[in-house]
Structure formats: C-alpha cells, structure tokens
Structure 1
Amino acid sequence: MVEESSSLTWRPLTVEDAQAAADLLNAMEAVDRIGQLYTAQDTLQELIDPYLDLERATLGAFDGDVMAGYMKVSYKPATDDVHRVLVNGGVHPDHRRRGIGTELVEAGVAAAKALHARHSPATRLVIDLYRAEHIAGVAELFRSQGFAPAWYDQQMEHPLGDAIPETMVPDGLRVEPWTQQNDEEFRMIRNEAFKDAGLAETPVDSWKNWMINHTFQPEVSFLLRDMANGAPAGMLLTKCWEADTAVTGFRDATFFLIGTLRDYRRRGVASALIGHALRAAANQGYDRAVLRVDSATPSGAFGIYEKAGFVSKSRFVRWALES
C-alpha cells in the first residue's frame, strides 16, 4: 500500500482536470455499473461549483496523466443548527485495494472539518458520503472511518410507452412549462418543499450551476400553478446526460427534482406533474424516465412513483459521520 501511494502524484484538482476526471468516472462505471457516465463538460460543471474550494477541499492521485483516485468536498449553507458537508470521490478499478481509498476518505473528512470551521463553526457538523450499495469494499471502508448508514435511496425506472398512466390535473390548477420568467419559482419550490427534510436552501449561484446547466431539459420540466391566486403549487425538473446516451443507446429523462408546497400536498400535484412529464418525455423521444427517492420518506413519494409505473432497480446509501 505504501509503495502504491508513494508512487503517485498527489495534488488539488483544477478545472484542467475535467477530462481526466471524466475518464476516471467512466472507468469506475465499467466495473460498478451504477448507470452514470460523464463527459468532460459534466465534470467541469462539478469543478466550478461555487461551493467547492478546489485548493483547500479537493485531492487527486495521479499515475502519470491518469487520475487514479480523487476526492472533493462541497458544503452547503447551514440549516438551523446542522451543517451538512458532502464528500465525494472514487478510485480507478486498476488501483483499488491498495490503500488509496482510505487516504482519500481521511483527507475528505479532514477537509470537511476545515470547511466547517471556516464557514459554520457554531453549528453541528454532519459529513455525508453517497454510494451505490452493491459496490464492493465501500461499506467496509466507510465503517472503518466511523461512517454509518443514514438513509437509503431507490433508483427507479419507467419504460414510458403504454406504461404511462392516465392522470388528471387537480381542479383549479394548471400546468405550465419552465421558462426564464418562472425559473425563480422552481428554485423557491425546491427550497420550501425540501425544508421539512432538513435540507439547506439552494442559493441562486448553486441553482444555476447544478440545475440550470447543460444537462437541464426545459422541455420536460413543468410547474403547477393555482389559477385562483397565481401561486405556484409544485414543480418537476428534468435532466439528461449525453454521455449515458452515447454509450447505452438509451435517452433517459431523469426527473431530478419533484417538489410540492405544503399547502398543496395530498391533492394530486405530484401525480399530475409526473404523468404530464412522462407523456412529454415519450412524445419527445426519450426511451425511459428515471429518478431516485428516499425509500423511507414520510411523504409517500415512493408509493406515488410505483403507482405511476416506476420500478426499483438499485439502492444507494447515504453514509453519515457526525462530528
């Protein structure tokens, strides 16, 4: 392990590493099979995240020009008394079981604590890691560093075609597509709808970087509006990754965000948005729709998706370390 680690070049990531990062992630996908492929544009979007400190909170291990492993740590504004910091990373299949993953996780935890001390020291720190459940060695590595499973997400797929159910828009509401004019309402719904789950708000700069970027699909993103008072009731935002389509041959409409404001819950808002988006995706040539949902969510979302025709395919784990 020591020989492998010492033979590598270790340094912070830069925006010039976008292609090397994409190559690493695609090599990981060839073995891990989680359904995520990347272009250099995709990884560049992550490297320019306004809440990612490249110099202080990233680390890459390089074998010549090949990225053998990496970690990056991004933070969010604190919510109430909790500050969640996300550590992300991975190791090239050709370099696994040699101690690189352990070094990267340890570096990620240290960087997370430093970011916390810098940006939100008065709050409680929770460090999160997010990985597919089936990847070999992940559970052992994370447990050895003090992480424990916090919750589970199901990845679900819908075949479109004849499987699209008939849905009705609730009385008094109307569906409208995403536009530049209602974009801020989409962000507001995301922040308000997910507040109950304890998630921090998404600021404007992060929203533009992570949501309204080159993967965003405005033609399959919709808002439901109350016709009586003009207030937004819920929204669905869709993304698509070209790298996945190029390799798999499947053009996936990923329902990335689905949210309903509290005053409009249990009125069929989510079901109406999902049904409308499924039909739009089918009409525009997508091969299937995919999404992820917390399998233990109290909102009943899992049942809504099953009723709409989504089927569970794999499970992801959010690992947490409280400090």
Structure 2
Amino acid sequence: MDAIMPLALPLLTTRPELGQADLPTLVAFYEACEQADPRDHAPTLDQLQHRLDHPPPGGRHRRQYWETADGQLVGVVNLWMTDPRTDIPPEPSLPASFAPPTSQEKSALGPYPPVVNGHLGIMVHPSYRHQGLESTLLDWAENFVQTYGQTTQRDGPIPVYLRATVAQDRTVEQESYGAHGFQMVRCFQTLQRSLLLPVDAPSWPAGFGMQRADTVQVEDWVALFNDAFVDHWRFVPLTVAQHQHRRQSPTYQPDLDWVAVAADGTLVGFCTAHIPYEDNARHHRQEGEITLLGTRRGYRRQGLARAMLLYGLQQLQAAGLDTVMIGVDRDNPNQAKALYESLGFGLKESWLNYFKVFT
C-alpha cells in the first residue's frame, strides 16, 4: 500500500490582527479548534473584547493571522513579550526582621537583569494541521522575537527567553517545538477537588490571620508577591503597574483576594481565588479556581499555606461551587503539590513547558 501523503497547503497570506473587526473571525476559529480538541478554553467575543479594551501595561502583545485566498483564518500566533526598557520591577525589599540573604538568594533577589521574557502560543485550524503550517508559524515567531529583542537593547545584547505551553497529549505540537530547538524543561499540572466534600477549618499559627488584599498598599503586595516567588522556576518579577492593572480590571473580585498578616502587621502570604461566572453559565457548571497562593520567605514551614488554602476553599464552598482547580509546578521545590494532594486535590491535566533562549 502506498504511504498516505499530507495534502499540500494552499497559498496562504499572513498579517497582524487589525483589532475589533477581526474578533468575530477569531471567535469562530477558536470554536472550530475547540470542537476538534475540547478543553473548555475557547474565549467568547466579550472576553476577547475585554482583553482588547484592557491590555496589560508594558511589554508588547502581537497576534498574527494566516489566511487562505478566500479569507479563511487557518493559523494564529500569539506572542506576549516584556520590554526591559519599561517593565522595571521595584527593587527587592525584605522585612527588617529577616536574616541576611545567602549568596544564592542575593543572586535571585536582584537587582533584576534586563531580559525579554516571552510567551508563545500557536494554533492551527483542524483542517490544516500536520501539513507543515505549525513549522511556518514557529519560523515567523522566532524571527519576530529576535528582531524585537534587538530593538529593546540598551547597553548591549539582551537575552530573549521564549516559553511555550503544550498539553501533554498534543504530541505533534510537541514534536514541532522540538524540531525548532525548544527543550521541554518543566511540567505544570492542573489539579481539581470536589467542594461537595467537607473542607477542614483552617488552623492558624499563633498571631497570624487573613484580611482582604485591597486593604493593603499595592506596592506592599507586589513586594510580598516577588519575595514569595523569587525562588520559583523562571521567576519573572511583578511590577506595580501590572498589579494595579489587575486590581482595576472589571473581572477583579476583591472579596476573593486575601493576604495573611503577622501580629506585627507584616504581610506574610497571599491567597487569591476566582469564580468565572460567565464560563460557568455557558458550560452549566459551578467551578472556581485558586489562582495564587504563596508564603513569604522566612515564614514557610509554619502551616500558613495550608491555612490560607483551606480558608480559600471555605469561601468558594460558601459561594455554592462544587469544584475547585489549582495550578502547580510538578517540581515545585517547596512541596506545593504534596500539600494540595493532602487536602484532596487530584490530577486533571498536565501541560509541558518548552523553552528556548535567543542571544
């Protein structure tokens, strides 16, 4: 029997997204991809419009289209890249009570070197997959980020760190990244837990408690976040402008955003949850997510993360939800996955992180 050869791609043209006028076409494209590969990730027109109307500060977002001669959208590249000229994080700050940092911690804490951090996503229409278009999209993306990196140089070459996330079962897409020199370096997982099961009451270490995050200064929360995540893989420091943008977003839910506070007023941890009301209504479900959970260095191994997570689960349970998700780095150095599993979370899906450096 003769081997089955892939169909030859038609002549395609590429162009950048033009804005609001392109959104209905993009929604239809995402829906076609969702039907072929159901993951409940297809955005609605309102969600895309919201992202267009409320872009995050700094950096640069680029969405590139590939179309057939009759205007059918068959391929999309999404790129988000920081700009070291403007995305300048605050200098690291630690509470005065902290022990002096080790040499390794000093290196991690800053000052932060100028780099470009990029996130890449490619998507191909189901009818045009596995015919070479994936490689075309990656070629374009690599050329674009290298040119972008050159435009952001100040006092010499700046490395560009490009990351892409691929579902663990998408082997062809993984092969495409591998063929372009990307290396699979990390696995992130989405865990889930039923909220129909009992949730234990949090047990707080003496002198610690929770309060809403919107009661503290933005600058203090950003310092807390950066101190908590500085030892995580590929840590990218948060800026004040980025956190202000999150708080000002129409989708921000301040009643689901909390900080843990010590008796002396020091911010020691945070827990943020989110209820996607629109998606829940669209898919006839009652799900929520713990989107952020972190403990400041120097306050770990005291039970704070467990207490904060239980507090968040209680609030979501009280809101009438029946399922909660949380994301985790499978190789988190602080045993986060073991904590989540001890509280009843189990694996839902895995995502592979591919990484490439351009210098």
Q: TM-score, normalised on structure 2?
A: 0.80
Shift of residue 208 of structure 1? 4.3
Unaligned runs of 5+ in 1: none
Between stretches 238-247 and 290-299, larger displacement belongs to 238-247
Q: CA deviation at 1:59?
A: 1.0
CA RMSD of aligned residues (A): 2.6
Among 60, 63, 71, which residue is 1:58 paired with?
A: 63
1:76 aligns with 2:76: no
Q: Which moved more, 1:17-26 or 1:284-293?
A: 17-26
Find out whether 1:24 has 2:54 as its counterpart.
no
Amino acid at match of 1:40: L
Q: Which residue identity is paired with 1:218? A: P
Instruction: Report the 3-state secondary structure (helix = DSSP H, G, I; strand = E; otherwise coil) of the residue aligned with 1:116.
Output: helix
Name the CA shift for 1:49/1:96 in 2 (closer, same or farther; >3 Å).
farther
Q: Cα offset for 1:309? A: 1.4
1:169 aligns with 2:174: no
The Cα of 1:225 is off from its aligned counterpart by 0.8
Partner of 1:257: 292
SS at match of 2:48: helix
2:66 and 2:244 mapped to 1: Cα distance? 30
Shift of 1:308: 1.6
CA distance change for structure 1 residues 182 and 53 in 2, over 3 Å: closer, same or farther? closer
> Who wins on radius of gyration, i.e. which is larger?
2
* Aligned residue identity for 1:224: A
1:10 correspondence with 2:18? no
Of 179, 186, 194 in structure 1, the residue corresponding to residue 214 of structure 2 is 179
Aligned-pair distance for 1:105? 1.3
| 2:243 aligned partner, one-letter code | W
Range that drifts further, 272-281 or 119-128: 119-128
Aligned to 2:240: 204
| Aligned residue type for 2:348 | K
Could you tell me which residue of structure 2 aligns to residue 102 of structure 1?
135
Segments of 4+ moved more than 4 angstroms: 63-66, 180-184, 208-212
In the TM superposition, what is the alpha-carbon distance from 1:77 to its structure 2 partner?
5.2
SS of the aligned residue for 1:103 comes to helix
1:24 Cα offset (Å): 2.6
Identity score, percent:
19
The answer to whether residue 164 in structure 2 is matched with residue 126 in structure 1 is: no
Give, in whole Å, the separation in 2 of the partners of 1:297 and 1:226. 25
The 10-residue stretch of structure 1 (207-216 or 21-30) with the greater mean CA deviation from structure 2: 207-216
1:177 and 1:219 in contact (8 A); partners too? yes
The one-letter amino acid of 1:10's match is T
> Does structure 2 conserve the Cα–Cα contact (< 8 Å) formed by 1:218 and 1:238?
no
Partners of 1:77 and 1:201 within 8 A in 2: no
The 1:135–1:248 alpha-carbon spacing in structure 2 relative to 1, beyond 3 Å, is farther
The answer on 1:144 being equivalent to 2:155 is no
For residues 290 and 131 of structure 2, the distance between their equivalents in structure 1, rounded to whole angstroms, comes to: 37
CA distance in 1, matches of 2:227, 2:275: 25
The counterpart of 1:233, out of the listed 261, 265, 268, is 268
Structure-2 change in CA distance of 1:296 and 1:304 (3 Å): same
Cα shift at 1:52: 5.3
Aligned to 2:255: 219
> How far apart are residue 295 of structure 1 and its match?
0.4
2:166 maps to a residue whose letter is R
How many angstroms apart in 2 are the aligned matches of 1:104 and 1:22?
A: 19
Identify if the C-alpha distance between structure 1 residues 218 and 230 changes in structure 2 by more than 3 Å, giving closer, same or farther. Answer: same
Distance, in Å, in 2 between the alignment partners of 1:4 and 1:244 is: 35
CA displacement 1:269-317 (0-9 Å, x = unmatched): 2111110110100111222111110001111111111112111111101
TM-score (norm 1): 0.88
Asked whether the equivalents of residues 271 and 304 of structure 1 are also in contact (C-alpha less than 8 Å), the reply is: yes
Give, as a single letter, the amino acid of the residue that structure 1 aligns with 2:351: F
Deviation at 1:243, TM superposition (A): 4.8
Structure with greater helix percent: 1
Gaps of 5+ in 2: 1-5, 85-111
> What CA distance in whole angstroms lies between the structure 2 residues aligned with 1:180 and 1:89?
39
Distance change >3 Å, CA 260–CA 38, structure 1 → 2: same
- Equivalent residue number for residue 107 of structure 2: none
What secondary structure does 1:70 align onto? strand
Q: Which amino acid aligns with 2:25?
A: A
Deviations 1:49-78 (A, max 9, x none): 444535xx4311235565322112212356
The question of whether the paired residues in 2 share the 8 Å contact of 1:19 and 1:43 is answered with no
2:332 is the alignment partner of 1:297: yes
**Amino acid corresponding to residue 315 of structure 1 in structure 2:** S
